[in-house]
Amino acid sequence: MVLIDTPALYYRAFYSVPDSIVNDDGQPVNAVRGVLDAIAQMIRRFDSPRVVATMDADWRPAFRTAIMPEYKAARVKDAEAGTEIPPELAVQLPIMTRVLQSAGIPIAEVDGTEADDVIATMAAQSRTPVVIVSPDRDLLALIDEAADVSVLRPRKGGEWEAITQADLPEAYGVPDGTRYRELAALRGDPSDGLPGAPGIGEKTAATLLANFGSLASVIKAAKAGVKTGGLSPKRAATLIEEEDTLYKTVEVMRCLTDVAHGLDLDSIPGELDRPAVETAARGQNIRRSVDNLIAALGSADTESGPKASGQSFPMATGTSTITPIQAPAAQPAAAPVPSLSAADSWSQSRLVGFDLETTGVDPSTARIVTAAFVESVDNSRTWLADPGVEIPEPARAVHGITTEFAQANGAPVSEVIAELCTVLSDLRSEGAVVVGHNIVYDLSVMAAEVKRHQPHIDFAALLPTIVDTFVLDKRIEQFRRGKRTLTETAKRWKVTLLDAHDAAADALAALDISRALAESSEEIANLTRADIMAAQGDWKRAQAADLQSWLRRKGNAEAVVDGSWPMA
Residue 204 lies in a domain: no
Q: For residues 303 and 373, state if they share a domain.
A: no
How many other C-beta atoms are found inside a 10 Å radius of the C-beta of residue 161?
Answer: 12
Q: What is the mean pLDDT of the chain?
A: 87
Residue 368 inside a domain? The answer is: yes
- pLDDT-derived band at 306 (thresholds 50, 70, 90) equals low
pLDDT surpassing 90 at residue 317: no
Band (108; pLDDT cuts 50, 70, 90): very high
| Domain of residue 307, CATH code | 3.40.50.1010
Mean pLDDT of 549-554: 87
Count other C-beta atoms under 10 Å from residue 90's C-beta. Answer: 11
For residue 86, the model assigns a pLDDT of 86
Q: Are residues 295 and 379 in the same domain?
A: no
* Residue 41: strand, helix, or coil: helix
Buried b (16+ CB within 10 A) or exposed e, 174-212: bbbbbbbbbbbbbbbbeebbbbbbeebeeebbbebbbeb
> pLDDT of 322-371, one tens digit each?
333 333 333 333 333 333 343 478 999 999 999 999 999 999 999 999 99
Range with the lowest mean pLDDT among 130-134, 243-247, 259-263, 548-552? 548-552
Mean pLDDT of 465-493: 94
3-class SS of residue 24 = coil
Same domain, 11 and 60: yes
Per-residue DSSP letter, 445: H
Residues 402 and 451 in one domain: yes
Q: Which of 328, 505, 354, 504 is nearest to 413 (CA)?
A: 328
Q: Which residues have C-beta within 8 Å of that of residue 61, sequence separation ≥ 6?
A: 112, 113, 114, 117
Considering the domain architecture, whether residues 43 and 136 belong to the same structural domain is answered as yes
pLDDT at 561: 84
* Residues 123 and 35 reside in one and the same domain: yes
Q: Quick: pLDDT tens for 224-258.
A: 999 999 999 999 999 999 999 999 999 999 999 99
φ, ψ at 367 (rounded to 5°): -115, 150
Judge whether 413 lies within some domain.
yes
Q: Are 515 and 347 in contact (CB under 8 A)?
A: yes
13-17, 94-98, 182-186, 342-346: segment of lowest average pLDDT: 342-346
**Residue 419: its H or E element:** helix 413-429
413 shares its domain with 271:
no
Kindly state whether residue 567 falls inside one of the protein's structural domains: no
Mean pLDDT of 389-393: 91
Q: Is 112 left (phi over 0), alpha (psi -120 to 50) or beta?
A: left
Residue 446 domain-assigned? yes
* Statement to judge: residues 293 and 413 lie in one domain: no
Mean pLDDT of 118-124: 97
Quick one: 160 and 275 in the same domain? yes
Find the CATH number of the domain harbouring 412.
3.30.420.10
For the chain, the domain total comes to 2
Q: What is the mean pLDDT of residues 193-202?
A: 92
CB 446 within 8 A of CB 356: yes
> What was the pLDDT predicted at 489?
95
Stretch 549-555: mean pLDDT: 87
Q: Which helix (H) or strand (E) holds 51?
A: strand 51-54
Whole-angstrom distance, CA of residue 58 vs CA of residue 447 = 57
Cis peptide before 338 (omega within 30 of 0): no
User: Do residues 67 and 192 touch, judged by C-beta distance below 8 A?
Assistant: no
222 in a domain, yes or no?
Answer: no
Distance, C-alpha 500 to centroid of its chain: 11
376 and 483 part of one domain:
yes
Lowest mean pLDDT among 147-151, 302-306, 553-557: 302-306
CB half-sphere exposure, 28, CA atoms < 13 A:
19
**Buried/exposed code over 299-318 (b: 16+ C-beta within 10 A; e: otherwise):** bbeeeebbebeeeebbbbee
Rounded to whole angstroms, the Cα distance separating 355 from 49 reads 30
Residue 288 sits in the same domain as residue 365: no
pLDDT > 70 in the chain, percent:
90
Please state, in angstroms and as integers, the Cα–Cα distance from residue 306 to each residue in 46, 101, 277, 309, following that order. Answer: 15, 12, 13, 10
DSSP 285: T
**Structural domain contains residue 452:** yes
- Please give the pLDDT value at position 332: 34
Three-class SS of residue 192? helix
Alpha-carbon torsion 505, 511, 514, 515, what sign?
negative
In the chain, % helix, strand, coil (3-state, to 5) comes to: 50, 15, 40
What is the residue range of 500's domain? 346-553
* pTM of the model as a whole: 0.60
**Parallel, antiparallel or unpaired: strands 149-154 and 130-133:** parallel
| Domain-embedded: residue 352 | yes
Residues 308 and 358 reside in one and the same domain:
no
pLDDT recorded at residue 208: 95
Q: Residue 200 — very low, low, confident or very high, per pLDDT cuts 50/70/90?
A: very high
